[in-house]
Structure 1
């Protein structure tokens, strides 16, 4: 931390993530479409709900302050050995086998602070918020009344 007395006209102090420890970003929630399930070999869309930019008010250095959290990276672990890191809240993944998988999501947020409506001052580094584990069931695909499997004829009805 560097100088800043809080006296009008003095420069604002430069803070670190440790100084902002009392301020927490929202906890993201993992979700999918379709919700809670999907078909093997077919993409499932995942999204990180609650990862919009947001402001948390509180007290910092005995002064009223706001901390603004902005999502920077969503890190997905799909539970089958695959993972992805994206700068947006959405991901897509296809499972090779039926089964139940536990999806893990962690979102890295950048932080900025402001005293009494002053300009936003960025803080080096990121704060990680972790979602509760999300369980998804993947079902086997089988077709009927077609000339073969979807692997053989992917453009046939039902594939």
Structure 2
């Protein structure tokens, strides 16, 4: 018996499948593979809403005025809000995240029916370089004596970010309210005097 010999497979490999009939240099996608093969769906972008950030609580805005807590009939009382950009940390969609709140609008609702809206929080007369009882963009004039309230609402724009990511905007604005400001409004009469009524209480006009 002779030594075994190693045979070789002389059969040819099956030819590759023909390209799609509509394959052409102008349709390279079809040339690259089977157009009927399932394609992977792109990942849907994350959409964060104001409801998703409900656990991120911005600070309550301050609701101040001058003169402090009182006003004069027919003269402007100046209202000033205290609100600023604030970053609050927490968990968003199961991940550590930051939410940044930026004030974009201010609205004072007065119990006499007056509404004052402004894009700024207002400023004191001193900061504005104005005399006391001067009109300002956030002032209000009461026309009758009595006790009133002024309620402040601040509109906040919200943005979020995960660790290392840029800030991304959230559609809409969030409204937060400050404590109501009590305002006692009275009438004041001016009287002409000849001198200092403290030094001379019995003087004319005192």
Taking structure 2 as the reference length, what is the TM-score of the superposition? 0.63
Richer in strand (by share):
1
Query: What is the match of residue 203 of structure 2?
Result: none
Query: What is the match of residue 3 of structure 1?
Result: 44
Give the alignment partner of residue 51 of structure 2, picking from 2, 15, 18.
18
Query: What is the match of residue 166 of structure 2?
Result: 119
* Residue segments in structure 1 that go unaligned for 5+ positions in a row: 5-12, 147-159
8 Å CA contact 1:25, 1:109 repeated in 2: no
| Aligned-pair CA distance for 1:3 | 3.2
8 Å CA contact 1:77, 1:103 repeated in 2: yes
CA distance in 1, matches of 2:120, 2:79: 11
* Residue segments in structure 2 that go unaligned for 5+ positions in a row: 1-42, 123-137, 194-206
CA distance in 2, matches of 1:87, 1:53: 14
Q: Does 1:134 align with 2:157?
A: no
Which residues of 2 match residues 7-156 of structure 1 at below 5 A?
Answer: 13-49=46-82, 51-90=83-122, 91-145=138-192
Tell me the matched-pair count. 136
- Deviation by residue 1:51-82 (Cα, 9 ceiling, x = unmatched): 10110000111111100000111111121111
Larger Rg: 2
**Relative contact order (C-alpha < 8 Å, sep 6+): which is higher?**
1
CA distance in 1, matches of 2:68, 2:44: 51
- Deviation by residue 1:3-48 (Cα, 9 ceiling, x = unmatched): 35xxxxxxxx231111111112211121101111121111111011
Runs of 4+ in 1 over 6 A off after TM superposition: none
